[in-house]
Amino acid sequence: MIFFVYSIVYFLSLFLAVLLALFLIRNRDGSELHRYMILASITSFAWFIADFFTFINFRDLDIYLIVWRISFAASWSLIISISLLLLSYTKKLNIYGKTFLSFLYLFFAYIILFTNFIIPKAKTLTFPGDSSYYIGSAFIYLAVTMVAILLFDFYLILRAYLGSKNDREKSINKIILRAVFLVVLLPTVSNLILPSLGISFPRLAALSVGIFLLTVIYLIYKYAAFNIKDRIFDINTKVSLSIILVSLIPILLISAGFYSDARDILEKEELKNEEHEISIRETFIDAFLNTSKQDLFFLVNSSNFQGFINSEQGDQLENYKKDVVIDFSQFSKNRNIYHQIRYIDKNGQEQIRVDNVNGVVENIPQDRLQNKADRYYFYEAIDLDPGTIYISPLDLNVENGEVEKPYNPMIRYATPVFDRGGNNVGIIILNIKVGDMLQYIRTIEGPYTSIYMVNSDGYYLVHPDRNKEWGFMLDQEENNIFKDDSGIAQEIFSPKDLFQISCPNEECYINSKRIYLDKNVYFYLMDDHAESFQIDNQEEYWIVYSKVDKGALTSLLNSSLYYIYVLIFIIFIILVLISLFFSRALVRPIYKLKEGIDIITQGDFEHRVNITSDDEIGDLSLSFNQMTEAIQDSRKEIDKKVKLQTKEIVNKSKELEDQQSAILNVLEDVEEEKEKTALVARDLEKFKLAVENAYSHIVITDSEGICLYANGSVERITGFSIKEVLGKKVGTKENWGGLMSDDFYHKLWRTIKIEKKAFSGEVKNKRKNGEEYDSFAIISPVLDEHGHVKFFVGIERDISKEKQIDRAKSEFVSLASHQLRTPLSTINWYTEILLAEDAGKLNDEQKDYLKEVYKGNQRMVDLVNALLNVSRIELGTLAVEPEETDLIDLAESVLNEIKPQVSKRKQKIVKNFGKNIPKIVLDLKLMRIVFQNYISNAIKYTPEKGQIELTMKKQKNKVLISVKDNGIGIPKRQQEKIFQKLFRADNVRERETDGTGLGLYIVKSVVEQFGGKVWFESVENKGTTFYATIPLEGVKAKEGTRGLEYTK
């Protein structure tokens, strides 16, 4: 059925390719785009034909190889033509691209068709759509090239889609993008990647190319795309389509019925043949074994052997023995199925043994004869009644305790020997070579049949995989049908002699036959301990069964249907030609009628349509001519009345001229207002387009936050469609919000609703699929003339990737800073040693150089420490270890540290500490860094003899800290950036080259970590006051890798 489905896909795709090619040829405008569209449709047609033949299971694999190579060359041509088409459509094709693609096409086309690098060999088709070929050494390069070209095509259309100028162009590019995506995905996976990995899977390239052709036809029909104005489905095309479909569908349905019936008949006949073949093997085995029984009794009852066992010691006995040896040898040579013929006396000693190895008969001399008293076949046969035969299990021959190699399958027939007095004197045993018998059983195997044979214990005697045979002889218990294929084992070991079943776990049928050995004999069986015992009234048997592969049968049927599908294809071509002929004949009068209408429309009422066909179109033509005559007569009457009325109009026109001038004045005023209105309308349209196509998420709500408008980016960013958002409160748990704290939302609402100010800040939201993301939101109130909030406009930008990039940068900075610390410490240490003259005396110039090195190294150490601090803050690895802290003591400690700097610059420190400041649970080290940065900045940017004022006082539930200086101040235009990372004001950089721009950023991060906030007041050239608030409730411990490093 899969083959039939593929056939329908190919025939319909062929039809689409023919339809598109004929239409494009008829309506081409000579442009490059149209040329490549025609090329793509023709190469599609050629590829569909070539690829369809790969579904035929050719018996001659050389022919099949040629078919596969032609198919691959056609597919390569199709990929190049589609790429040229898309390059031309997106206006990216130039002479270099043409040259490159042409060279690439010719290079790979030659390799595909004339070398073994791509497809060296074909193989038998296992199922319709299978990639039945072996891949060559360069296949991967062709596959990668094809995939790269297809991905490049997808990239071109994606860029065209993103850069669409209007809705129509965007809709066209969106449809093409989906079609190209299928062309990239389906062939890449099913036709290239999976075959490269050795995975069998139906090829889906034909389906994707058919969809691509259908997409092109749809775009021409729906949007008049590709600069094609004519209708693709005109009446001519519709008539042709109707004729083809009405004719082709019954043919395909009949073919489907024929295919189904043929498959059932083929399966039944094949199963009958398999049953017959197995029955023939059973007959052969029975005949083979019965012949061996007769041979055994013949040897026992031969005159020379009877004389031998009944003679006394002496010359007569030796003569009989020689005659018996001659009889055994001659018998072995003539029969050539016995590996050994032996006479063993009652003590287990071989007396006579004749071997036949590869047709060479040898009488074994006395010194090489062995005692077999301990072998199972001896003590099983020696005690049997006269005339009874012991049949051993079918196993491998063992010599000197080891399995003979190459394997020599044996079955042994033995019978006791009695003299004339009725005394048991020994046994005669035949070692029967059954290798040829097993090989004859294997001849049932075919391209879709596997043959198996198991013994009554389930071990394989015949198997397609020879390594699974003789498991019981080779200590390979896993090579047993009960372990290897328990589902089939349960069926074939059921109490039936002959049956047919479907495989439990595979797409196949099973024919099984149970073959019994002699029912009136004793049998030898071995358990896991290789002990022997006799079983009375038990049946020893073998089971021969075959597996018939349903898929292979279907492939055989598909091959046999080759001529039928070639015939259908020829019929299809004839149908196309017939449909074109009849459709043209049918619509020719309609076109003629249309031409007449066009002539009359241009004012030639004398023209008459000359259609004389005796049908509805002829009647329509006659009625049209009558209508034209009536219009002509009516026109004459109208012309007369027009002349009369014209005179009256001319007389009245003078009266109207005066009125006209007045009206014109009014119209000029109206026109002026109209132009202003049109200008406003155009501005509004531009604004709408800008908002609709904005990359940011934009919503407009009423005063209660209910969504009134949302642009397209809302759905792109959040995943919620516009319908799901409109009429609902935005930023709640029902859509993308609800992740921030209640305090955050209360503060936001108070800012925009009560204070009527714009809000901006980072917000964590969630998409419809539950994925959380970071965004930067700006929400502004829109006020009416009374100052009341009428709307809110919200603009949101997804900054998740920016956050990820910042984190990656922070991780890199952290890693790099850690790596720099060790060499910097080493430089610092060695410089101190040299300056201390521990390594030798230095002159003044050397000391000056070393001091500069030491200072520069200290600046690098400070920078590394600052970068480490920033990275720990941003990565969230900053440890907070709170302890009870006296802020006044901590401030005094920091002031003591910087006394040398203050003294050097002759500056004055004023301390204003409140008396009721309690101890607070803080991280002492982090708080010290806050004081250090505030105070050191004040010292650094305050001129000599300046004043610095440090103030601390309690305010309700917090402590306010301020550091005031009368230094250089901060320029007003740069004040909003002062707490940003790596920012330094212009006046600071001009005066002080040292500094990282990280200190205040770290202070802000630490204070906010404590739950406080920072700010400042500054006037350029007059001074600055920095503030920080610390909550009295203190901070909680936070795990992290390390705290912050000290920086100067």
Whether residues 414 and 465 share a domain: the answer is no
Q: Between 210 and 306, whose confidence is greater?
A: 306
Whether residue 460 is contained in a domain is answered as: yes
- Helix, strand, coil shares of the chain, percent, nearest 5, are 55, 20, 30
Q: How many whole angstroms from its chain centre is CA 1014?
A: 52
Whether residues 118 and 224 share a domain: the answer is yes
- What's the confidence (pLDDT) of residue 741? 83
Whether residues 819 and 931 share a domain: the answer is no
Mean pLDDT of 305-325: 87
Q: Is the pTM of this model over 0.85?
A: no
Q: Between 974 and 500, whose confidence is greater?
A: 974
Mean pLDDT of 425-429: 94
Using pLDDT thresholds of 50, 70 and 90, give the confidence band for residue 527: very low
Whether residues 937 and 836 share a domain: the answer is no
pLDDT at residue 959 tops 90:
yes
Mark which of 767, 798, 829 sits at the end of a domain. Answer: 798
CA distance linking residue 189 with residue 894, whole number of Å? 68
Whether residue 613 is contained in a domain is answered as: no
Q: List the CATH number of the domain containing 170.
A: 1.20.1070.10
Q: How many whole angstroms from its chain centre is CA 471?
A: 42
Whether residue 620 is contained in a domain is answered as: no
Whether residue 919 is contained in a domain is answered as: yes
Whether residue 564 is contained in a domain is answered as: no
Question: What sign results for the dihedral spanned by CA atoms 941, 943, 945, 948?
Answer: negative
DSSP SS3 for 546: strand
- Contact in structure between 397 and 530 (CB atoms under 8 Å): no
| DSSP code, position 56 | S
Whether residues 826 and 944 share a domain: the answer is no
Mark which of 231, 255, 288 sits at the end of a domain. Answer: 231
Question: Which of 525, 549, 546 has its CA nearest to residue 535?
Answer: 525
Q: List the CATH number of the domain containing 982.
A: 3.30.565.10
CA distance linking residue 695 with residue 725, whole number of Å? 18
Quote the tokens at residue 723.
């319908």
What residues contact 645, with CB distance under 8 A and at least 6 apart?
none
Whether residues 15 and 152 share a domain: the answer is yes
> Among 14-23, 411-420, 885-894, 992-1001, whose mean pLDDT is lowest?
992-1001
Whether residues 701 and 817 share a domain: the answer is no
Mean pLDDT of 397-416: 85
Q: Is the peptide bond before 918 cis (omega within 30 degrees of 0)?
A: no
- Contact in structure between 835 and 847 (CB atoms under 8 Å): yes
Domain that residue 711 falls in? 694-798
Give the pLDDT confidence of 433-475 residue by residue, as tens digits.
Answer: 888 888 888 887 766 688 888 888 888 888 888 888 888 888 8
pLDDT at residue 534 tops 50:
no
Cβ–Cβ contacts within 10 Å for residue 970, how many? 22
Using pLDDT thresholds of 50, 70 and 90, give the confidence band for residue 843: confident
- What's the confidence (pLDDT) of residue 578? 74
Q: List the CATH number of the domain containing 480.
A: 3.30.450.20
Whether residues 58 and 184 share a domain: the answer is yes
Whether residue 331 is contained in a domain is answered as: yes
- Contact in structure between 389 and 292 (CB atoms under 8 Å): no
The domain total for the chain is 6
Give the pLDDT confidence of 217-242 residue by residue, as tens digits.
Answer: 888 888 888 887 666 666 666 666 67
Whether residues 794 and 809 share a domain: the answer is no
Whether residues 19 and 51 share a domain: the answer is yes
> Among 172-186, 292-306, 451-465, 839-853, whose mean pLDDT is lowest?
839-853
Quote the tokens at residue 4.
């039939």
Quote the tokens at residue 809.
């940068």
- What's the confidence (pLDDT) of residue 926? 84
Mark which of 502, 535, 556 sits at the end of a domain. Answer: 556
Mean pLDDT of 407-436: 90
- What's the confidence (pLDDT) of residue 525? 32
Q: How many whole angstroms from its chain centre is CA 308?
A: 82
Whether residues 219 and 144 share a domain: the answer is yes
Using pLDDT thresholds of 50, 70 and 90, give the confidence band for residue 529: very low
Mean pLDDT of 545-554: 73
Whether residues 356 and 400 share a domain: the answer is yes
- Contact in structure between 714 and 695 (CB atoms under 8 Å): no
Mean pLDDT of 890-895: 90
Quote the tokens at residue 746.
């209360």
Beta 908-913 vs 883-885: how paired, if at all?
unpaired
Question: Which of 206, 228, 207 has its CA nearest to residue 216?
Answer: 228
- What's the confidence (pLDDT) of residue 495? 66
Q: In whole numbers, what is the pLDDT of the chain averaged over residues?
A: 79
Q: What are the residue ranges of helices labelled H in 876-976?
A: 887-897, 899-905, 924-940
pLDDT at residue 955 tops 80:
yes
Whether residue 646 is contained in a domain is answered as: no
Whether residue 607 is contained in a domain is answered as: no
Q: Between 133 and 153, whose confidence is greater?
A: 153
What residues contact 966, with CB distance under 8 A and at least 6 apart?
942, 946, 947, 1022, 1023
DSSP SS3 for 797: strand
Question: Which of 264, 147, 123 has its CA nearest to residue 205?
Answer: 147
CA distance linking residue 361 with residue 354, whole number of Å? 7
pLDDT at residue 522 tops 50:
no
